[in-house]
Chain A
């Protein structure tokens, strides 16, 4: 008689959105081998269809409202995961649309580009669904490895290679920290499952092994979300990577890393909340201040946006400090607003070229409003949203976030944050100064007309205006999304 090996039921429906993306990725790689060889734009279309399909699947799951678990709680498809799936899919869809002609123009068009973007997407979505530290690690690696390659896509460009190398080396370093942290947590609690860690950690708060594990975990996540002092890679990678990939790293991968970080902290390590709240307070204040102050000195737009994105991470960490449904919900809303805004800003930069090179110096944008008033206006709106000027998304997002911090009693952190926002206005407005208040000089800026890119910018623009004027439904969505974590 053969012994009974219990085979866990294989339920694939909780993986449905991820599977759609992975399937599209495999299809892209397959079709890459077939003609036509000289143009790969159609592969972008297939990738886009895959992402939109995943989005539809996500929406269908949300409407159904059921919470699904699979593989012994390793994968969770709750509203929290679905919310992030939506944010990530939106980000990736916009990135793909922006890529379609950006790649053709810069000569980097290839099938594996779209394939890798989709695999990275699958990693991001898995991160949001991870109910187990092992899955967190695997998903993080799937996402990161794809992005390392994508950052170095421009094989002939030295900065691109540097970006890829730096990203990979530091990323691998951070991953090992994360893995070590996971090992220590396992040692302390006897499990890698988030719920079981929570049950065990609650009884053992203050145990050194647990605290060291938490610290190492935060180092790993700190790298992925580029919080100070683990942010060193961000400016170089943002500058060197293809602009569309920069947009993806700044939004999708950041959102995914935040998704996992929040779930791990709030679900698994809730017992250690006083410890990590104090840490996060310091990290938030440091991250926003350093990001903003260094951004003041940047003349390269991609570097400036890199530091600005570091600063925005600082704001988002405030939500974690504040805690509770209000705090976590505010972070989710902020990520949504930030994603639309940042992709829009990078999207405009990707459309602008000067003397055959990408226009990334702030001086390249002198007088843009005179030559291309619509494009300048669009970029100005994205920048104003990043400043936090109403009635755009950035303002409401900050309002929710700062409100949650004040509610939890963190007045001084909020004061630091609002003063930071005022500092930040200077460098964002400097770009507007160049576009509107200076005259064009030197070689004229060439703006590539692009249907897909234009459409992506229009969607992002509608997004930031909509979020700014009628934020309530989206904020309710974010609140509903964090509810499963706080039970």
Chain B
């Protein structure tokens, strides 16, 4: 049995975690280096996935299937399509950056920290590559615990509350999803005679529309909506983000939230097409409320990290809006926006973390006039802020524009309401930037700040490259995903008994 590439990418971090565990406790530097080496190796190993992936094909690629629990119909089935490819690479890209950002920030129990981060990476990758509902659920639940520890052990003063809230919210959601998975499994088994958790097999089968499908959709949707987080399930997010260490925030915003939107795309749309269409107006309403509400609440935050956290609620609203338009532009925009949010918000958290390491405060009022003191930091910060608010030429614009085009075809008013979110984003981000960076140096402590170190440049530069790259030449990325999305839409349309909203 040869080990497949996808399995190797997924489990390399976990194997590395074991290696780190074997290092002696006092060699903190060695643990950091080994952790980073493993994360970079995982990134290197995942690059062939990108280059080997045929963007013209909508099929799952790099598939591997092994028996696991044959009597139950559970198999180890992994594979990626144009959607998961992007998210897998986003994960392998952000994890080394997060580890590098924690170089000095995490001094306490470094060994455990590195191990936890690596296990978390395996969990996240597993979620994106699983093509078996059982396997997916295993990774989905398993990756909770490392994140819980990262928030709870290495977080801020109110970390325990935030960590427990994070876990309980997610567990309640996923508990009902488990029931829905089982119900789907038996319904499919009774109807077809084959009992299986295999996602492609289940997705080929047409679940009759009706209350059963609606309930299953809602059970899945609750789990994913909490993760996204869709308004009104977002209240765990500000707590978790504010308390988590920088590395945790980067991963949380960059990858974990995408697991929710990915779940909608991978499971809800193809498995429950009728319910997806039926509940789309509800999702639109919640998404638009999230966009506007998240932006308004961001505006009044005195704390930089909280501001970025609430902006995530707003940005993820765009993603959800795009996914449920159920047309090509909206879906492509939603998928690209997932990647964009991972890059932009990840970078924002990285930079907030860098300034926090210097000043040990995140209050906007404590800054001002930073351009005069640390121009390089301020310049990079400007690029990241502009990318987050969707300036044309940078990555954020591409995703938001496509989502709005998609939404407009469904209902012009929907697009109009969502557009206000973009205006508000400009307000809260630029106003924040103005208060932090421009003006006179208001606080004496800020005069002694040091500019970006080479390590920090190394962390930020790769993100900047992609922010510009996606902004200027998005086809490189959308090209990998368009065929998959077209096939997904065709599948939803052929299975749904009602017409899609707009094509």
Contacts and interface: CB of A to CB of B under 8 A. Distances in A.
Interface of A: 369-370, 373, 384, 389-391, 395, 399, 402-403, 406-407, 411, 414-415, 418-419, 421-422, 425-426, 429-430, 433, 436-438, 471-472, 475-476, 479
A425 B168 contact: yes
A389 B186 contact: no
Contact of A425 (B171, B178, B185): B171
Interface in B389-436: none
B153 A437 contact: yes
A391 B11 CA distance: 14
Contacts of A433: 152, 160, 163-164
B449 interface: no
A418 B186 contact: no
Given A384-B145, A406-B183, 18 more contacts: A369-B112, A389-B141, A389-B142, A389-B144, A390-B138, A391-B138, A391-B142, A403-B185, A406-B186, A414-B179, A414-B182, A419-B172, A419-B175, A437-B159, A437-B163, A471-B69, A472-B70, A476-B71
A36 B159 CA distance: 55
Interface in B137-165: 137-139, 141-142, 144-145, 148-149, 152-153, 159-160, 163-164
B216 to A, nearest CB: 11
18 contacts: A370-B109, A389-B145, A395-B141, A402-B178, A406-B179, A406-B183, A406-B185, A418-B175, A419-B176, A421-B171, A422-B171, A422-B175, A426-B168, A433-B160, A436-B152, A437-B160, A472-B69, A475-B72
Given A415-B179, A418-B179, A433-B152, A426 B164 contact: yes
Contact of B176 (A369, A415, A472): A415
Contacts of A476: 71
B409 to A, nearest CB: 38
B217 to A, nearest CB: 15
A378 to B, nearest CB: 13
B279 interface: no
Contact of B148 (A402, A407, A429): A429
Contacts of B185: 403, 406
Nearest to A433: B160
B283 to A, nearest CB: 23
A160 B407 CA distance: 69
B54 to A, nearest CB: 32
B457 interface: no
A-B pairs, 9 with minimum CB distance: A418-B175, A390-B138, A406-B182, A472-B69, A422-B171, A437-B152, A422-B172, A422-B175, A390-B142
B473 interface: no
B214 to A, nearest CB: 14
B167 interface: yes
Interface in B106-143: 109, 112, 134, 137-139, 141-142
B68 interface: yes
A415 B176 CA distance: 7
Contacts of B172: 419, 422
Given A422-B171, A433-B164, A407 B142 contact: no
A415 B109 CA distance: 39
B13 to A, nearest CB: 15
Contacts of A369: 112
Contacts of B160: 433, 437-438
B162 to A, nearest CB: 11
A429 B69 contact: no
Nearest to A430: B164
Interface centre among B68, B69, B163, B175 (most CB of A within 10 A): B175
A378 B475 CA distance: 49
Interface of B: 68-72, 109, 112, 134, 137-139, 141-142, 144-145, 148-149, 152-153, 159-160, 163-164, 167-168, 171-172, 175-176, 178-179, 182-183, 185-186
A402 B174 CA distance: 14
B411 to A, nearest CB: 35
Contacts of A419: 172, 175-176
Contacts of A403: 72, 182, 185
| Residue with the greatest number of chain B CB neighbours at <10 A, chosen from A370, A419, A422 | A422
Contacts of B71: 472, 475-476, 479
A414 B219 CA distance: 13
B141 A390 contact: yes
A74 B218 CA distance: 52
B167 A425 contact: yes
A414 B178 CA distance: 10
Given A425-B168, A437-B160, A472 B68 contact: yes
Nearest to A373: B112
B494 to A, nearest CB: 28
B85 to A, nearest CB: 25
Nearest to A420: B175
Contacts of B153: 436-437
A411 B178 CA distance: 11
A388 B448 CA distance: 51
A411 B138 contact: no
Contacts of A436: 149, 152-153
A407 B70 CA distance: 17
A486 B394 CA distance: 67
B164 A429 contact: yes
A390 B70 CA distance: 19
B183 A411 contact: yes
B69 A395 contact: no
A297 to B, nearest CB: 16
Contacts of A384: 145
A390 B164 contact: no
A418 B152 contact: no
A365 to B, nearest CB: 14
A370 B109 CA distance: 8
A429 B186 contact: no
Contacts of B142: 389-391
A406 B185 CA distance: 10
Contacts of A475: 69, 71-72
Contacts of A373: 112
Contacts of A471: 69
A438 B145 CA distance: 17
Among A369, A421, A429, find the residue whose CB has the most chain B CB atoms closer than 10 A: A429
A472 B179 CA distance: 21
Contacts of B148: 429
A402 B148 CA distance: 25
A426 B163 CA distance: 11
Contacts of A425: 167-168, 171
Given A390-B141, A395-B141, A406-B182, A418 B68 contact: no
A406 B141 CA distance: 20
Contacts of B168: 422, 425-426
A284 B501 CA distance: 45
Nearest to A436: B153
Nearest to A377: B112
Nearest to A437: B152
A402 B179 contact: yes
